[in-house]
Amino acid sequence: MIIPTIFLLSTVFPSLVTSAFDYDKVTNLPGLTFPLNFDHYSGYLRASDDKYFHYWLTESSRNAAQDPLVLWLNGGPGCSSLGGLIEELGPFHVRDYGKTVYYNEYTWNKFANVIFLESPAGVGFSYSTSSNLTVNDEETALYNHMALVDFLEKFPEYQGRDFWIAGESYAGVYIPTLAVRILNDKSNFPNFKGVAIGNGELDMPNNFNTMLPLYYYHALIRDE
């Protein structure tokens, strides 16, 4: 599989990464078929005393020092945001059953610095040092917020940058709950600009209960 291959080779072997401030910087990506004009980083963010979230940052190829910062969350719940990286909006897409990595012409990092965060613990490479992986939506929002605070400690150059949160599916729950936490304390993200939710799962009961009227009035089902 390409995800474990990329992650392990780019973060474990010391010959592929630098140290100290740039410890998470990826300097070699197996299967890459195009030259890079941006930096990218892969590592862990501390979300609590026992939870660590895996992230992958793809910096902007236009102007990393000035372009906005975007957090991307896939939904599920339980879907890895690396799906967004290698199948949707990231610069790296895969082919040949994961053997090669090619450039996505529609990548968002043409205009923004994008963080792909795997959340909560137990999703993708994110993990907990305790046996408790059960969380609710409010706890997930808390841990996501703490992971972002840790991100700013790793990358202080992003403090004060225009900041957006985007995602899809169950991120329709992840994003608003996280946004409320940021709005209640904007000290870390004073330039929080807004959210973008695609195909959001905002309310499970209402989403389910509106299916029948939708199908009926679009002539997809009969009266009986």
Give the per-residue pLDDT at 136. Answer: 92
Q: What residue ranges define each of the domains in the chain, with the CATH number in brackets?
A: 2-217 (3.40.50.1820)
Which amino acid type is present at position 180?
Answer: V
Give the per-residue pLDDT at 158. Answer: 97
Give the per-residue pLDDT at 206. Answer: 74
Residue-wise pLDDT for 82-122, tens only, equals: 999 999 999 999 988 888 999 999 999 999 999 999 999 99
In angstroms, the CA 141 to CA 161 distance is 21
Residues 6+ apart with CB under 8 A from 38: 58, 59, 60, 61, 64, 91, 109
Give the per-residue pLDDT at 21. Answer: 57
Cβ density class 42-70: b for 16+ within 10 Å, e for less: bbbbbbbeebbbbbbbbbbbeebeebbbb
Give the per-residue pLDDT at 20. Answer: 41
**Sequential pLDDT tens for the chain (224 residues):** 444 444 444 444 444 444 445 889 999 999 999 999 999 999 999 999 999 999 999 999 999 999 999 999 998 888 999 999 999 999 999 988 888 999 999 999 999 999 999 999 999 999 999 988 878 999 999 999 999 999 999 999 999 999 999 999 999 999 999 999 999 999 999 999 999 999 888 777 777 778 888 888 898 888 77
Give the per-residue pLDDT at 168. Answer: 96
How many of the other CB atoms lie within 10 Å of CB of 94?
19
Q: Is the peptide bond before 120 cis (omega within 30 degrees of 0)?
A: yes
